[in-house]
Structure 1
Amino acid sequence: MKTLLLRNTQLVDGTGAPARMADIWVRGDRIAAIGQHLTVAADEVLDVAGLTVAPGFIDVHTHDDAMVLREPGMLAKLSQGVTTVITGNCGLSLVPLVSDDPGSPLDLLHRSEFRFAHLNDYAQALAHQPPSVNVGALIGHTTLRATVMQDLMQAATPDETDAMAALLDEALSHGALGLSSGLFYQQAYAADMAEMQALVRVVGSHGAVYVTHIRSEMDDILNAMQEAADTAQAGSASWIMSHHKCAGPRNWGRTIETLALLERLSQRQNVGTDVYPYSAGSTLLREDLVDGIIEILITRSDTHPEMAGRYLADIAQTWGTDQLQACRRLMPGGACYFQMREDDVRRVLAHPMSMIGSDGLPHDERPHPRLWGAFARVLAHYCREEKLFSLPQAIHKMTGLSAQRFGLQDRGVLREGAFADLVLLDPDRIQDKATYENPRQMCEGIDRVMVNGAWAFVQGQVQGEGTGRFLRR
């Protein structure tokens, strides 16, 4: 069994506790010992003085379901120190739909990978060609609807709800982390409380989590939050609100209200939220998000691929039309919407309930920079430069808190017996480089990344075969 000794680390353990100096002894895939001046034999000894060692980061909000199969090196995530990705967010998962034409918005996950009727099939595919990161999977509500329903524009019938519940129960029995929904999307918007509560009761019976992209993040956000919280409570399930934001100029500043509501709800039920460190979101091209006020950057257009990377207002001017008509001509596609205000982003990032998730769309031609830069941006801009929180607090939001919320045992913390998912970084040098104009750029300051006791990323390069695992709840 291979052993490694890291000497002279500044250890940040993922719990939020202050940094301390320590040696770390790794034996196989686990941390065998932590202490000062360890006297143990090791196959490899590294003196990492000047570097901070933290648990591998957990990206709690990804759409990497197909990416871990198609590009198992996962450079965009490893290069930021991410060692675990949570897939299946916003109601969109590969499992259990089998289809050659999944349609929108499921095609955000890539059209050609919907071939897994059962969670174990997906897990076996990952075991056959292990990715460089660990994978935990949510089951998407929209995917369940597409699997059993003919008409997604209406609420499910009792028989359809029962069929979805049976599929969900099987996946949870096989280790899915929970259920996600995206009632914001048209294909799930018609779902009523009876449909959602029936499914979330299955979630609660397994002790799993309910993660939701709420019905509205704009004017009706408080009602949408209450709906999601009531659904989770009715099913006795933990609730996580995805990518918390107050979108659109009329709602800027309202995170004071939404965070207060989250705090009140947390008094009666288990509540969490995730956030990405940018004032622009990214999703499909949607007419209802074109208001003529916010800037909109096109990331993908199936009809006019040459327009990716240009702003909608410029395209409309070039075509001699208004932005709404230009949006229609560009559809289907994707865009970045500059719909948040910086003080709201800061307020959510700083809140004790918030975890960090990238919410990147890896198959966009020009993805939002959060795909390559979210975790480095938290550490560089908001922690080091803005001093919004301390380094241990920032890392807790990326590791220990995330593992706790999603039930990832022995992950997200540095302690004896935990899995050896580690990131070695220079807190003075870490810097996100991805921009809206040039989004596919690695960050700086991540020296090494270890996944399950093996080096996965060293000085800018993915290392060898993947050692990531499918993580069952």
Structure 2
Amino acid sequence: MATYDLIIRGADLIDGTGAPARRADLAVAGDRIAQIGRIAPSLGYRVIEATGLTLAPGFVDIHSHSDYHLLLQPTADSAVRQGVTLEIGGNCGYAAAPIWGPWLEERATLYRNLYGLDHDWRSVAQYFAQLEAVGISENFGLLIGHNTLRGSAMGGVDRAPSAHELEAMIDGARQGMAEGALGLSTGLLYAPACFSGPEELIAIAAAVQDCSGILTCHMRSEGDGLLEAIDEIIGVAERANIPLQISHLKTSGERNWPKLHDAFRRIEDAQARGLNVSCDRYPYTASNTGLQAVLPDWALEGRQRERVERLRNPAARARMTQDLASRYPWDYWSRLMIAEVTQDEHRRYEGLRVSEAAKLAAAEPVDFVLELLLAEQMQVDGIFFTMCEDNLQAILTKPYTMIGSDSGCRSHEGPLSHGRPHPRTFGTFPRVLGHFVRERCLLDLPLAIKKMTGDPCRKLGLWDRGHLQPGCVADLVLFDSATVSDRATYEAPIRYPVGIHHVFVNGVSVVEAGEHTGARPGRVVRRAS
């Protein structure tokens, strides 16, 4: 008589701890791993013969931006078909909740206009209920966004918060943590957090630390001011006594590539002082963010309509033109690609470098960028080719580096199938396994799996995930280590990987023979009380 719902037989098990692979069977009962060892096939309702394949914990994307994407694409095709079973959203300071006031109004208008999405939640609990009502194919955990808190409490103004405004941010963070958020994120490069100082962030982070959360940070600079930015955020984390995750560690711009050693030294010195600090990184040398990131901070103050109106103002426009011309060398615009726009008339620019698109529009690059941002109401995505391969490899090999896609889930069909998204959206985890493990031998397979599973779960305090052991949640990925590979490129990014055979989320099959089953067994992963 069958005892287990599923038995996977004869796979090479890599358990997420960094230990070597071992040949064994694994049994699942309900949503948990029930047994590992030699298991009679007669005990399983379903048996998968997996000789020659590798079985690992489901991959954890510790740095994602699927907060709104999951409501639009709940099957999370681009994620689960990579083997991802848990995404952590709310990164870079922008989270779906908690949200209120001017920020809620702005976000609700944006997503209603772009996608027809009803934004009828405010709190973390209400947002989680929305995800559960829709039904999702992967698990999802949330960080509270400092930028969202600040925008909700005080709009986009460039000043320090009043005592009342700071208390509103702290209260929002405390409530969000009580409702299951995993920590706090900030994006100090972006408005409105770029207008904040360390004292503001320390106060909010300390409240989150009281609830056993972590702090993640897109730092104030990843280029010219990289080292100063690392000093700043390490100082914040030490004063708030909170574990720190530095988001997508990089050295942006060729003149900043030599700074990597000093960046490592600062992180490792902080570790030696007792700070729990780590980082994450995607396995590519181009970044992806809104094109408006090229603008100076002063141009990003206020609400969206104020920023757009500033682009229309001749005096402000002239000042922006001068700022951009002095800040960026002539060849910078050939290293920046237009990834996605919202208006059909501008689709012809997707996939082109700014220099090429500007030529097509018969305009100078700076003028083209400002005019496109105005016409698109700031909703333009760009891909920035500013990093080097040697530094990427050095970052990936550090023992404190985890793997994160820095993307939102998408699909080959539906509302999120347009544009030229960064290939990391469809390829991050298979690229590590195929290119950097098998082809380049940069990492061994157990270490790479640990960076994708056990390490992020330990960082987040998720003790029953990220390992293959009885009692752990049955989030599993079965893949062929000899063939697993990413297929997404910058030119053709909407391509699923190969070599991912089966993916199970909470014990339910979501991917079979590389194809999505349509199942939506995902859950919200809340902070343990």
TM-score, normalised relative to structure 1: 0.95
1:65 corresponds to: 67
Identify the match of residue 320 of structure 1 among 344, 347, 362. 362
Q: Pairwise mapping of residues 99-138 of structure 1 onto structure 2 (< 5 A)?
A: 99-102=104-107, 112=117, 114-138=119-143
Q: State the distance in 2 between where 1:397 and 1:448 align.
A: 20
Q: In 2, distance between residues paired with 1:258 and 1:293?
A: 27
- Note the 1:64-103 alignment, pairs <5 A: 64-98=66-100, 99-102=104-107
Closer/same/farther in 2, CA of residues 241 and 207 from structure 1, 3 Å limit: same
Which residue of structure 2 lines up, in the alignment, with residue 345 of structure 1?
392
The residue that corresponds to 1:277 in the other structure is 283
Counterparts of 2:105 and 2:511 in 1: how far apart (Å)? 34
Residues in 2 aligned to 1:191 and 1:111: alpha-carbon distance in whole angstroms? 33
Amino acid at match of 1:280: A
**Residue 112 of structure 1: how far off its partner (Å):** 4.0
Q: Residue 259 in 1 paired to residue 270 in 2?
A: no
Greater shift in the superposed pair: 143-152 or 5-14: 143-152
Which residue matches 1:414?
468
Q: 1:265 to 1:113 in 2, by over 3 A?
A: farther
Q: In the aligned structure 2, how far is the partner of 1:64 from the partner of 1:260?
A: 32
Q: Are positions 1:372 and 2:410 aligned together?
A: no
**Distance of 2:248 and 2:109 partners within structure 1:** 20
Give, in whole Å, the separation in 2 of the partners of 1:420 and 1:184. 38
Secondary structure at the aligned position of 1:254 is classed as: helix
User: After the TM superposition, which of the residue ranges 149-158 and 435-444 deviates more from structure 2?
Assistant: 149-158
Counterpart-to-counterpart distance in 1, 2:108 and 2:348: 22
Residue-by-residue CA offset, 1:343-376 (whole Å, 9 max, x unaligned): 1111111111000000124557221000000111
The normalised TM-score by structure 2 is 0.86
Q: Is the contact between residue 434 and residue 440 of structure 1 (CA under 8 Å) also seen in structure 2?
A: yes
Structure 1 position 97, deviation (Å): 1.7
1:247 aligns with 252
In the alignment, is residue 301 of structure 1 matched against residue 341 of structure 2?
yes
- Tell me if structure 2 keeps the 8 A contact 1:214–1:224: yes
Q: 1:378-389 maps to which residues of 2 (within 5 A)? A: 378-389=432-443
1:290: Cα distance to partner? 4.8
Summarize deviations over 1:368-427 as a string: whole Å, max 9, x none.
000000111111111111100100011111000010111122111100110000000001
Q: Is the 2:7–2:41 Cα contact (8 Å) retained in structure 1?
A: no
Task: Measure, in 1, the Cα distance between the counterparts of 2:433 and 2:329.
Answer: 33
Aligned sequence identity (%): 36
Q: Is the 8 A contact 2:108 2:118 kept in 1?
A: no
| Corresponding letter in the other structure for 1:323 | P
2:258 aligned counterpart, secondary structure = coil
| Structure-2 separation of matches of 1:239 and 1:110 | 34
Match of 2:231 among 226, 238, 243: 226
- 1:219–1:251 contact (8 Å) kept in structure 2: yes
Q: Tell me what 1:150 maps to.
A: 155
Cα drift, residue 3 of structure 1: 1.4
Q: Return the offset for 1:440.
A: 0.6
Q: Of 24, 27, 43, which aligns to 2:26? A: 24
- In the aligned structure 2, how far is the partner of 1:305 from the partner of 1:154? 37
The aligned counterpart of 1:34 is 36
Describe the SS at the equivalent of 1:181.
strand
Q: How far apart are the structure 2 equivalents of 1:339 and 1:111? A: 35
2:451 to 397, 406, 411: 397
- Distance across 2 between alignment mates of 1:6 and 1:287: 50
Contact 1:181–1:211, Cα closer than 8 Å, also in 2: yes
The amino acid across from 2:427 in the alignment is: G
**Alignment partners' CA distance in 2, 1:291 and 1:58:** 38
Which residue identity does 2:419 align to in structure 1?
E
- Counterpart of 2:363, as a letter, is T
1:198 match: secondary structure = helix
Q: In the TM superposition, what is the alpha-carbon distance from 1:151 to its structure 2 partner?
A: 4.0
Tell me whether 1:160 sits opposite 2:207 in the alignment. no
Aligned: 1:453 with 2:507: yes
Q: C-alpha distance in 2, partners of 1:119/1:283?
A: 25
The 1:114/1:249 distance shift into structure 2, 3 A limit, reads farther
The answer for the alignment partner of 2:413 in structure 1 is none
Equivalent position SS for 1:358: coil
The 1:264/1:4 distance shift into structure 2, 3 A limit, reads same
Give the structure 2 partner of residue 171 of structure 1.
176
The alpha-carbon distance between structure 1 residues 298 and 138, as it changes in their structure 2 partners (threshold 3 A), is: same
Deviates more, 1:114-123 or 1:258-267: 114-123
Which string of whole-angstrom CA distances, capped at 9 and with x for unpartnered residues, describes residues 96-148 of structure 1? 225342399999x9794643211111111122122110000001011111211
Comparing 245-254 and 370-379, the one that deviates more: 245-254
Within 1, Cα distance between the matches of 2:351 and 2:386?
18
State the match for 1:50 in structure 2.
Answer: 52
Pairwise CA distance, 1:256: 1.6
Distance 1:425 1:193, change over 3 A: same
Contact 2:4 2:43 in 1 (8 A): no
Structure 2 CA distance for partners of 1:231 and 1:115, relative to 1, 3 Å: farther
Shift of 1:22: 0.5
Identify which range, 346-355 or 2-11, moves more after superposition.
2-11
Q: Distance in 1 between matches of 2:91 and 2:445?
A: 27
**Aligned residue identity for 1:208:** G
The letter for the 1-side match of 2:403 is I
Q: Which position in structure 1 is the counterpart of 2:321? A: none
Q: Secondary structure at the match of 1:327?
A: helix
Find the aligned partners of 1:350 and 1:425 in 2 and give their Cα distance: 22
1:461–1:309 Cα change, 3 Å? same
Unaligned runs of 5+ in 2: 296-326, 411-415
State the Cα distance separating 1:318 from its structure 2 match.
Answer: 2.4
Shift of 1:150: 3.5
Distance 1:15 1:347 in 2: 21
Offset of residue 51 of structure 1: 0.6
State how far apart, in whole Å, the 1-side matches of 2:361 and 2:138 are: 44
2:261 and 2:110 map into 1 onto residues whose CA distance is: 31
The CA RMSD over aligned residues, in Å, is 2.1
Question: Is the radius of gyration larger for structure 1 or structure 2?
Answer: 2
Q: Determine if contact 1:105/1:185 at 8 Å carries over to the other structure.
A: no
